[in-house]
Structure 1
Amino acid sequence: MARAGLDKNPREVAEMFDGVAKGYDRTNSVMTLGFDRRWREWSRRVLDAKPGEKVLDLAAGTAVSTVEYAASGAWCVAADFSLGMLLGGAHRPVPKVAADALRLPFADDSFDAVTVSFGLRNFNDTEAALREMARVVKPGGRLVVCEVSTPTFRPFRFVYMRHLLRVLPLIARFVSSNPEAYKYLAESMRTWPDQRALGEVVARAGWEDVAWMNLTGGMVALHRGTKPAPPEPA
């Protein structure tokens, strides 16, 4: 499978990521000019995992972010539905689980926090995935989403949407094991909701205190939320 379609069929998306697993981390660094490291650092800060907490890193890919979260002393598990990506990170010393974001293999209220970086837009039902994340997080637990977004400066937004996203597949020809996949990735970035619209989806999925922070001029945004406590018995 060279690339998935914008219907985001789970099997096609998984096969596509299997195809880009080789050299995936290097490709990300090249195509983001190294900003991927800075975005991971901000995600780590906002997540603020504590020693002894349990953290689910969903759509974790090769687990590069999971290792950074685990450095806090939290117990962190990398979950992804691409076996190729998980195998690509087999050398990283964190537990790894093959998992479908819409049917997570975890009990209710299992984690103190859940995070997903640059994976939410690849789920074929964003709101359902966010509800499933809420199911496995304890009341009062945290959600942190790092995802592409809409640049806030209008002239740059025009250049980004009309030109930069077209260049990504061309660059991928030189650095990726599956360049065709980056046509899908560019298209999914172009059609992804902006900061406020995504925040509304997060809130509809049952998270409260939803807020977001722009990174790199809004090219990327961090969204966070909290799982509400259950209502007290009457």
Structure 2
Amino acid sequence: MRADLGKDPSQVSAMFDRVAARYDRTNNVLSVGNAPLWRVATTRAVAPKPGDRILDVAAGTGTSSASLAKSGASVVAADFSPGMIEVGRRRQASVPNLVFVEADATKLPFGDGEFDAVTISFGLRNVNEPKLALAEFFRVAKPGGRLVICEFSHPPVAFVRTGYHAYQRYVMPPLVRLSSSNDTAYEYLNESINAWPDQPTLAGWIREVGWVDVEWRNLTMGVVALHRARKPLA
């Protein structure tokens, strides 16, 4: 069983439960070693510091959350997959300023204005109502709070885009079979990437719910895009 582009929350959650144990290893293989570089770029964009309270949504096994917590910030790793949270709590048990919470990105169990920064990496496209999630991120951020989204996107240069699509079609499937515990789940990965909007469209969605100073930069020639924004002080 695998999720489809209807993104039924129970289906998506169950799919991630099944791939949790080997999720990080598979991501490193499929990204051809770029996943750690994307994580470093995201952490720098969030710019965590001691005393900050940071929400990492769709945190999975907490790899990105642990990177943020190294700064001394207090990090909440939220995910709606119990399987991911179970693996994350075990792997990140030595990180004292990191807690895991089971949560739906569209109905966050937090009060208004709780977080200095909200971030999500490779998770927004798995949410069935991404605009509602963006509005929830806005609600729980403090005035002046930061938003950082790292997500697969669309390379703007034609020959790069063609090469990337060839990689998705011909190279990724055998790599998935070698590295993943559930290769059918990664069929959904490709479908969800190709159906996801481009960089300007996502920037527009972010602005729609109230974020300001919205900007993005491409990573790996636009295979991934890093969007940043700020909640107004007023």
> Scaled by the length of structure 2, what TM-score is found?
0.95
Q: Distance in 2 between matches of 1:146 and 1:83?
A: 22
> After the TM superposition, which of the residue ranges 151-160 and 132-141 deviates more from structure 2?
151-160
- Quote the offset at 1:22 in angstroms: 1.3
SS at match of 2:61: coil
Q: Distance in 1 between matches of 2:99 and 2:173?
A: 32
Contact 1:165 1:190 in 2 (8 A): no
Deviations 1:165-212, CA, capped at 9 Å, x for gaps: 223233211111111000001000011111111111111121111000
SS at match of 2:155: coil
Contact 1:168 1:186 in 2 (8 A): no
Deviations 1:71-91, CA, capped at 9 Å, x for gaps: 111100100000101111123
SS at match of 1:210: strand
Amino acid at match of 2:233: A
> After the TM superposition, which of the residue ranges 164-173 and 80-89 deviates more from structure 2?
164-173
Identify which of 167, 182, 205 aligns with 1:164: 167
**Does structure 1 residue 35 correspond to structure 2 residue 38?**
no
Contact 1:78 1:96 in 2 (8 A): yes
Amino acid at match of 2:105: A
Amino acid at match of 1:186: N
- Quote the offset at 1:17 in angstroms: 0.3
Q: Distance in 2 between matches of 1:168 and 1:202?
A: 30
**Does structure 1 residue 12 correspond to structure 2 residue 6?**
no
Contact 1:169 1:180 in 2 (8 A): no
- The 5 Å alignment of 1:67-146 reads 67-91=66-90, 92=92, 93=95, 94-146=98-150
Deviations 1:53-110, CA, capped at 9 Å, x for gaps: 0000000000000000011111001000001011111230320000000100000000
Q: Distance in 1 between matches of 2:159 and 2:172?
A: 19
Identify which of 178, 200, 204 aligns with 2:204: 200
- The 5 Å alignment of 1:155-194 reads 155-161=159-165, 163-166=166-169, 167-194=171-198
SS at match of 2:181: coil
Deviations 1:102-126, CA, capped at 9 Å, x for gaps: 1000000000000000000000011
Q: Distance in 2 between matches of 1:170 and 1:110?
A: 43
Contact 1:59 1:79 in 2 (8 A): yes
SS at match of 2:89: coil
Structure 2: any 5+ residue segments left out of the alignment? none
**Percentage identity across paired residues of the two chains:** 51
- Quote the offset at 1:164 in angstroms: 1.7
CA RMSD across the alignment:
0.9
Contact 1:80 1:99 in 2 (8 A): yes
Runs ≥4 residues deviating over 3 A = none
How many pairs does the alignment contain?
Answer: 228
Q: Distance in 2 between matches of 1:75 and 1:51?
A: 8
Amino acid at match of 1:146: C
